[in-house]
Structure 1
Amino acid sequence: MAERLLPTSAVGSYPQPDWLIDRTALSKQTPPRTKAQELWRVDPQWLEQAQDDATRLAVYDQEKAGLDIVTDGEIRRVSYSSRFANALEGIDHDNPGSRASRGGIPVSVPRVVGPIRRSHPVETRDVKFLRECSTRKIKITVPGPFTMAQQAQDDFYNDEEALALDYAAAVNDEIKDLFAAGADVVQIDEPYMQAQPDKARRFGVRVLDRAVAGVSGATAVHLCFGYALTMKTKARVYDFLTELEASAVRQISIETAQSDLERSTLKPLTKTVILGVVDLNDPAVESPEVIAKRIRRTLPYVPAERIVVAPDCGMKYLPRHIAFGKLRAMVQAAEIVRTELTGAAEGR
């Protein structure tokens, strides 16, 4: 059966319920790099059960909105990177380090005191649970090794590339287990490749390829300019993007809505583009036609056969009803453009 034209997907996160996590406190700080267990509102003995229930809600919303590819909403995570990064060996959990955030603010981060190793699977239960919740294609996300290296205080390696490569080996082990557990797509989140483009050019692709070495499933890398909550204005061009054409990942996830990205920068890419077309900085739900226009603007540079339609980034910080409305409008927009393309093809 042929793949659906312009399939729709979430990027990763979906709003967590207020009864599960302190969303107000979460929104007033840089996304935590350490465990930040105090943000959970459920007693530890019931937390996994509560997270299961909230995950079911996230999947239900995505399916009701009409998405073709769903995620677990990253419901079990305080932030996109902290859960995995703090599950690895080589971290001193009792004495965290400090490092400047993407916005230049000092934040608490994992302190590396020994070799970074993955001693056990971290997200395989997440995938198995998600597979039980949905018959649609499923995607799971993992934090990228380049980004984790930039979000840590290195008191052991004294070599950023060596540190990143060991993070990559840990991510590689995790990705293989995630596909074995039933994932259709595994996405590697690498926002710091955009934030630190000079370092990314030096060793970013090498590190990313180590993370997907020997992996046969569909892998994606997500680049972004930062959460809309903290990044109100964004550049129109990525400082690091076309370099990923040389990487082994199959898909590249980018944002174009809030940034009004210059679409011609996508022309050199031959990989599948997960196209962000939903503005997460806009508190209103865009109309399907507004989102359809964003899709159409990309078609001269990336053929529809290589586009997956998605929000700009994770939807973690939006009110749930707004997130759902935006996903539903996005699905309708994809259908508008899909119908146009199909009709044009039949008319030739």
Structure 2
Amino acid sequence: MASRFSSLPQIPTAIVGSYPQPGWLIDRQRLGERLPPRTRADELWRLEGEDLAEAQDAATMLAIGDQKAAGIDILGDGEIRRESYSNRLANALDGIDIDNPGTAIDRTGAENPVPRVTGAIRRARSIEVDEARELRARTDEVIKITLPGPFTLTQQAQNDHYPDEASLAMAYAEALNEEIRELFAAGIDIVQLDEPYLQARPDAAREYAIPAIDRALEGTDGLSALHICFGYAHVHRGAAKPGGYAFLPELNVSRIDIISIEAAQPDLDPSILRKLPDKRIMYGVLDLNDPEVETAEQVAARLREALDHMDAERLIAAPDCGMKYHSRENAFAMLAAMAEGAALVREELKQ
């Protein structure tokens, strides 16, 4: 693994997680009309059974192929087999009453059906490991798999079993730790935890998020990443995003190796990067609220701003967030512009 990562160019490129799912695979209109599902949403898929599995495999191959063709260095599976970034794993654990969901307040302020925790959270089987092996078999390049993080899982659940949220978060962390160990054993180079609720609920995050995140990574031997953002642009369309994070510098003391942050759409003050001196940074350079594709020069300008506050050896170029709600055509064009912009800056650094 180390040799694969060390072979990457300076300022490598990566997707954050999701890539657009084809309309022949999932009902994109229905997907875009609702909040990202926390419980299972099988009704979104166009197919069932073996036909669905075969179609998901084919769409995953398209997502990998698009990333390669666009010039992306760190590849993912595009989360093609998922209805949302979190619900697949969240509903595959023991301790969840699948038939009787609970409710929780989404970060938009709306009530959303969520997993209801009625017993001890345990991982009875692998969840993304088969898909990880499939991804590894498709490419020799650096690959990344995403999982929802323990803090966000806790915020997206109704807790009817544990004495408090901190206990529930630690239980999620222990289950995640088992999955992460197997993912690295399957050949994954980077495991990313998605933790958008660190920003949405910073007070609770300061109480127990870092211990839970560190427990999820305890004893693992691959590179870890953590994505923290202000939410999908599609979901928060029309709402102004803050120009700074309520919870970010705190992550510098965590076990996480790479911090993925949204910077383009909120016009983030890049000086915050000085608060993360010990981490690699996946820096958001694609504004996913705007369907107009950035130019390579716009991407390069955002990377140069980041380099005013950190060294190039720690910088990774990425979109702000997942690209799930964009058209495949737009997503591909954005990734290609990102790769070209990173190449421009790479050449400048050689001079």
Matches within 5 A, 1:35-74: 35-74=40-79
What 5-or-longer segments of structure 1 have no aligned partner? 344-348
Secondary structure of the 1:277 match is strand
1:46 deviates by: 1.4
Aligned pair in 2 of structure 1 residues 2, 75: CA closer, same or farther (>3 Å)?
Answer: closer
The separation in 1 between residues aligned to 2:30 and 2:49, in whole angstroms, is 19
Residue 225 of structure 2: SS of its match in structure 1? strand
2:262 aligned partner: 255
Looking at structure 2, the residues matched to 252 and 96 of structure 1 have their Cα atoms a distance apart, in angstroms, of: 32
User: In structure 2, what is the Cα distance between the partners aligned to 1:45 and 1:330?
Assistant: 36
Paired residues, what number?
A: 343
**What is the SS of the residue equivalent to 1:75?**
coil
Q: Tell me the equivalent position of 2:297.
A: 289
What is the aligned partner in structure 2 of residue 7 from structure 1?
A: 12
Match of 1:163 in 2: 168
Gap runs ≥5 in structure 2: 1-5
Measured in 2, the distance between the counterparts of 1:308 and 1:262 equals: 17
Q: CA deviation at 1:231?
A: 2.0
User: CA 1:2/1:126 → structure 2, altered by over 3 Å: closer, same or farther?
Assistant: closer
Q: Is the 8 A contact 2:8 2:73 kept in 1?
A: no
Deviations 1:78-127 (A, max 9, x none): 00000000000000001001111110111110000000000111000111
Query: Which of 98, 107, 122 pairs up with 2:103?
Result: 98
Residue of structure 2 in register with 1:305 after alignment: 313
> 2:231 aligns to what?
226
After TM superposition, list the pairs within 5 Å mapping 1:132-281 onto structure 2: 132-232=137-237, 233-270=240-277, 271-281=279-289
Partner Cα separation in structure 2 for residue 135 and residue 169 of structure 1: 30
Residue 114 of structure 1: SS of its match in structure 2?
Answer: strand
State the TM-score, normalized to the length of structure 2: 0.96
TM-score (norm 1): 0.97
Instruction: Name whichever of 66-75 and 265-274 sits farther off.
Output: 265-274
Q: Output the CA distance in 2 between the equivalents of 1:316 and 1:22.
A: 12
Distance 2:295 2:172 in 1: 41
Per the TM alignment, residue 44 of structure 1 is displaced from its structure 2 partner at its CA by 2.1
CA distance in 2, matches of 1:177, 1:275: 28
Task: Tell me, in whole angstroms, the C-alpha distance in 1 between the residues paired with 2:46 and 2:90.
Answer: 22
- Taking a change above 3 Å as real, the CA distance of residues 44 and 2 of structure 1, as seen in their structure-2 partners, is closer
Structure 1 segments of 4+ aligned residues over 4 angstroms from their partners: none
Structure 1 residues 193-217: Cα deviation after superposition (integer angstroms, max 9, x where no partner):
1111001111111110001000111
Give the residue type in structure 2 aligned to 1:100: I
Identity rate of aligned residues, in percent? 53
